Amino acid sequence: MWCPTCRNGYWCEGRPQYEWQPIETAPKDGTHILLFIESKIIEGWWEKREYDGPWPMVLELWKTIWLSEHGCGCCAEDNDDPTHWMPLPEGPDGI
């Protein structure tokens, strides 16, 4: 994970950056982050897939794990693009 402020790593001045950042600054390396989409906070990641065959193509898109709503993921394809992101918080100490 990297920090949008220093672009040098997840930690910036010894602190994680737990503030909402513009989506344009989000990591696009498959790192799981929190995404803000349509007033919802959802875990997601950037995914790039290359397809070979008769019609080669490259798909680049935000993939999400639904943490709000009812949780089954059936509505996941109906969402808009995220507008903001932040790193996932750390787990409790000792776990």
User: Can you give the pLDDT at residue 86?
Assistant: 94
User: Can you give the pLDDT at residue 67?
Assistant: 47
One-letter amino acid for residue 80 of the chain: D
Q: Look up residue 71 and give its DSSP letter.
A: S
User: Can you give the pLDDT at residue 1?
Assistant: 46
Contact status, residue 36 vs residue 91, Cβ threshold 8 Å: no
Contact status, residue 71 vs residue 11, Cβ threshold 8 Å: no
User: Can you give the pLDDT at residue 53?
Assistant: 85
Smallest CA-to-CA distance from 81 within 26, 32, 10, 29 is with: 26
Smallest CA-to-CA distance from 62 within 19, 33, 22 is with: 33
Phi, psi of 66 (to 5 degrees): -75, 120
User: Can you give the pLDDT at residue 68?
Assistant: 45
Contact status, residue 63 vs residue 41, Cβ threshold 8 Å: no
User: Can you give the pLDDT at residue 59?
Assistant: 87
User: Can you give the pLDDT at residue 87?
Assistant: 92
Low-confidence ranges of the chain (pLDDT < 70): 1-17, 66-79, 94-95
User: Can you give the pLDDT at residue 23?
Assistant: 95
Please, which residues have CB within 8 angstroms of residue 80's CB and are 6 or more apart in sequence?
Answer: 37, 38
